[in-house]
Amino acid sequence: MSFTAKLANIDRRVFYWILFIALMVPFLSPIGFPLSVAENTRDLYDGITGDNVEPGDVWIINFGYGVSAWSECHPGVTVCTKALFREDAKIIFMGPHYDVHLTYNKLQTTAAADFAGKVYGEDYVFLGYITGGEAAITQLASDMRSVYPNDYFGTDLDDIPMMADVNGWRDIDGVLSSDTGDWGSYFLRQWQGPHGTRLAQIGIAMLGSTGIPLWLAGNYFGMSVGSRGGAELEILINELGEATTSMDSISVSHLLIVIAVILANIGVLTERRES
């Protein structure tokens, strides 16, 4: 068989092996293919850095996603946690998923260097699981202790220095809701709408179609959309991570498919010309 005929009839198993080996590269070390940063992502990053955050400001980061959505939401949450800590803001972590403690533990790994310089109870607190949907978010705005009398570890909120003067929407400077569903809209209706609380969303890609109009309307001061949004945030903070790896792997796989199509067509066209 001629070389051109081989190009036209490449065994698919060869391509799968090439794809498997090529995909290992970004997972071993992110490549960092060029990405443009969307305006909504830049607004999110700008909103939690610089003059928009004062030392001592208290923010809520809501883990509105479970383990199944780590790939889309967690990189964005990691960058935002790093950015807020570096502005000396204080963070309240909470979440509506039963596996919320797993996400909190992962965050302490992906943002380990920034947690290392902070003190639990003074710079951040983990309240744990919240149930009750929108009714609980409404109650959280008026009386946080009626929803969370204790933190995740059983410590009374009154015994946590950071929470001494924090008990409702007036004491919160901003909310970042990471979402796979409705939690951003709960905070929108019960916090941002009636009280003007600064709110941003870190959502899965599917939520981009509903979230971007809210950002354009000014309800969200910024928004990160899926793995792409996480990769854009990693570019802005200049620390490549899991989202960049995901985007690199997508770019590599698409590039290989394009190359395979070109090679196969070269083989077919050459054979036709020769015949």
Domain residues of the chain, as ranges? 3-29+250-274, 39-239
| Low-confidence winner among 4-13, 35-44, 117-126 (lowest mean pLDDT) | 4-13
9 vs 58: which has the higher pLDDT? 58
User: CA quadruple 125, 128, 133, 139: dihedral positive or negative?
Assistant: negative
Q: Does domain 39-239 have CATH number 3.40.50?
A: yes
SS3 at position 27: helix
Strand order in the sheet with 174-179: 124-129, 90-95, 58-64, 174-179, 199-203, 223-225
DSSP for residue 230: H
Which phi-psi region, left, alpha or beta, contains residue 148 (left: φ > 0; alpha: ψ -120 to 50)? beta
Instruction: Name the pTM for this structure.
Output: 0.85
Tens digit of each residue's pLDDT (9 = 90 or more) over 193-230: 999 999 999 999 999 989 999 999 999 999 999 999 99
Residues 6+ apart with CB under 8 A from 55: 87, 88, 89
User: Given pLDDT bands bounded at 50, 70 and 90, which one contains residue 7?
Assistant: low
pLDDT of residue 17 exceeding 90: no
Question: What's the mean pLDDT when you consider all of the chain?
Answer: 91
Q: What is the pLDDT of residue 146?
A: 94
- Quick check: 245 and 226 in contact, CB under 8 A? no
Helix (H) or strand (E) holding 91: strand 90-95
User: Given pLDDT bands bounded at 50, 70 and 90, which one contains residue 262?
Assistant: confident
Q: What is the pLDDT of residue 103?
A: 96
Mean pLDDT of 23-49: 88
User: Given pLDDT bands bounded at 50, 70 and 90, which one contains residue 76?
Assistant: very high
Q: What is the pLDDT of residue 8?
A: 65
- Nearest by Cα to 207 from 223, 192, 191, 219: 223
* pLDDT over 70 percentage in the chain: 97
CA 220 and chain centroid, separation: 15
| Low-confidence winner among 97-106, 120-129, 150-159, 265-274 (lowest mean pLDDT) | 265-274
Q: What is the pLDDT of residue 70?
A: 92
Residues 6+ apart with CB under 8 A from 153: 126
Q: What is the pLDDT of residue 203?
A: 92
